[in-house]
Amino acid sequence: MKKQTMKKTILGLSLAAVLGLGGTFAYLTATTGEKVNSFTSTNNITGETVETEWKETSGSNYTPGQVIKKNPTVQINANSESAYVGLKVEYIADGKHFNQKDFENFVKIDDLNTEWNLAKTYDNGDEFYVYRNVLETSENDQSAPALFNSVTVSAGLATETSTSQATYYTYETDENGNKTALKKVEKGDIKEGTTYYKVENGKITGVLGTATGNGSTATKLPSFEIKITGYAVQSKNLGNDAATSLAKATEELLKLAQ
């Protein structure tokens, strides 16, 4: 009897092994239904870059030494979300970007407002400023104070009509159009539309003006521009204190400016 029982046991185990290798397991399954969490909002930020003192003709027919009113800032429109705001400032002459200091050979920024933090100076000289305080939600438009209120055209700007000027200087540029170094240009190699500079000891000391024809003298006062671009980012949920919020807002504003 024991032998028969043992044989049955072995046979049963063998069948179990075969079924385990060749059979199909059925797992318990169920569909528990769908739950959708929808988030909607009518909150947004709307605004614009404004300059109430700048007129269409403000930069036309300037004269060296002239003070011109210009007051850039960012305005958040009525009922917008509270926001931090920033301004990117680009100093451009002859199609090239300058840093603020070198741009003073063309025009000088008067009295930058210290309520704006200089958050970044880019490699090409562009600057990014962030207003330190929040523009709060209101039934009325809200504006930060102006970054500055006027600019002064350099008194050193001049045209060159005399043939006594034997050499001129202009910027060499790389393949992307970025200025690299000043180079000496003989009078006969002057190119129309290019701006030329007075240089002493390797540094610009003045602007001779822009050539009106190939091989001519620099008989035209140069054109230049200050390009202002405004940005805004929500002020809520950026941090537990003012310093952290401002730092996070600055980070986000710089990302926007890229």
The ranges assigned to domains in the chain are: 47-155+224-257, 158-221
**Residue 2: per-residue pLDDT:** 47
CB within 8 Å of 161: residues ≥ 6 apart: 217, 219
**What are the φ and ψ backbone dihedral angles of 21, each rounded to 5 degrees?**
-80, -35
**Residue 71: per-residue pLDDT:** 94
pTM for the model stands at: 0.79
**Residue 16: per-residue pLDDT:** 38
**Residue 188: per-residue pLDDT:** 78
Please, what are the averages of pLDDT over each run of 10 residues along the chain (258 residues)?
45 38 51 59 80 89 92 92 93 91 94 97 95 94 95 86 67 82 84 87 84 79 92 91 94 92
For the record, the structure tokens of 74 come out as: 């960012």
**Residue 168: per-residue pLDDT:** 83
**Residue 189: per-residue pLDDT:** 84
The CATH T-level fold of domain 47-155+224-257 is Immunoglobulin-like (2.60.40)
**Residue 42: per-residue pLDDT:** 59
CB within 8 Å of 70: residues ≥ 6 apart: 51, 53, 54, 58, 148, 149, 150, 151, 226
Angle CA 102–104–88, to nearest 5: 80
**Residue 31: per-residue pLDDT:** 59
Q: What is the dihedral of CA 211, 105, 50, 96, to 10 degrees?
A: 50
